[in-house]
Amino acid sequence: MNDPLTVGMLGYRFMGKAHSNALARLPMFFPDAPDVVRHTLIGRDQDALADAADRFGFEHTATDWRDVVDEVDAFYNLGPNHLHVEPSVAALEAGTHVLCEKPLAPTLDGARELRDAADASEAVAGCAFNYRFVPAIRYAKGLVEAGELGEIRQVRARYLQDWLSDPDAPWAWRMDADLAGSGALGDIGAHSLDLARFLVGDRVGDVDRLSGHLRTFTEERPAPDSGEMKPVTVDDAYSAQVAFENGATGTFEGSRVAQGHKNDHSIAVHGTEGSIRFSLERLNELEVLTGDARGYETVLVTEESDPYVDAWWPPGHVLGWEHTFVHENYEFLSAVREGEAFSPSFDEAFEVQKLLSAVQRSDESGEWVAP
């Protein structure tokens, strides 16, 4: 029997809770998953850290990631974007496996450093694009790979949220370009670009050129502790037009100020023989048009034969957002145990970062650019 894998986790808020929940669920639903010890939780506030460690099931706490990266088997970097590079590079240099949240880094240079560190290390390195692990998305990828849609002509993706619609919503690190890199573009646009590459990349090739536009609607926001107004130096919304190598076109948009949209991530793929449509707000469903059908058929992707679903509930007993993290952690930790590559890798995440950077360059120049 293999020894349990020890996990050290940087960050205990939103993503820390999501990944900790996934680790707790693994042995219940995936009996072939590696045994995992939630070893050390890392953060700055000792009191809040101790409380989170108790709730999340971690045995130890630390206030400095340097004390942890070479003491565990796998390092989960779930901190703010500006903390992705240095700790993850240190972990990889120590031979520790790394799962890093998206986007890979705030800048293209940082992402390149991470890619190079992963290439030079024998450790497994993965980027946490969790929407790849939605059963309906896996089902959609199967249709594309089987040629059910024919030649791919168009990809359309949007990711809309409204949590910053109120101009008095408080400032946070996600509004600072030095800490985050970009706003809606990197925060949620990275998901759309990665999902498009995952679904149709083998069919359309790389991005040949693109044009992008960024817009900040609220230039400053109140600091949560003092109420002092602080500048917003990232975008509230972005849009991009993409030309793929095979001649297909893509349109992408994202917003954190779209009233009435809580977490509306949707993607559509149109080919010469059919189309598919997916929305995260109905994540157990995939709309499919193929063959001689005159309209879309809504497929409920909950059968035991569907990807991952045999581990869960009877057909029709739907899954949710949190389960994408369970699937992601299962795949990552299984790759670690077997010494195999994990996808999405740092190489793949770097390709997404190139697109994010190109959108920013296009916005600055007002011209189409090559990634």
Instruction: Report the pLDDT value the prediction gives residue 2, as an integer from 0 to 100.
Output: 74
Q: CA 307, CA 249: separation in Å to the nearest integer?
A: 28
Per-residue pLDDT in tens (0 to 9) along the chain, 371 residues: 579 999 999 999 999 999 999 999 999 999 999 999 999 999 999 999 999 999 999 999 999 999 999 999 999 999 999 999 999 999 999 999 999 999 999 999 999 999 999 999 999 999 999 999 999 999 999 999 999 999 999 999 999 999 999 999 999 999 999 999 999 999 999 999 999 999 999 999 999 999 999 999 999 999 998 989 999 999 999 999 999 999 999 999 999 999 999 999 999 999 999 999 999 999 999 999 998 888 999 999 999 999 999 999 999 999 999 999 999 999 999 999 999 999 999 999 999 999 999 999 999 999 999 99
Q: CA 349, CA 140: separation in Å to the nearest integer?
A: 21
Q: What DSSP assignment string belongs to 290-323?
A: ETT-SS-EEEE--STTSTTGGGS-STT----HHH
All domains of the chain in start order, with CATH? 5-131 (3.40.50.720), 133-365 (3.30.360.10)
Asked whether 66 and 90 are in contact (CB, 8 A), the reply is: yes
Q: CA 357, CA 83: separation in Å to the nearest integer?
A: 19
* Tokens representing residue 187 in the block: 């925060």
Q: CA 371, CA 354: separation in Å to the nearest integer?
A: 6
Q: CA 262, CA 163: separation in Å to the nearest integer?
A: 7
Task: Let me know the angle formed at the C-alpha of 53 by 50 and 54, rounded to the nearest 5 degrees.
Answer: 90
Instruction: Report the pLDDT value the prediction gives residue 1, as an integer from 0 to 100.
Output: 52
| 57: CB partners within 8 A, 6+ apart | 20, 23, 24, 38
Amino acid at 270: H
According to DSSP, residue 230 is labeled E
Q: Rg of the Cα trace of the chain?
A: 20
Cβ-based neighbour number of residue 109 at 10 Å? 12
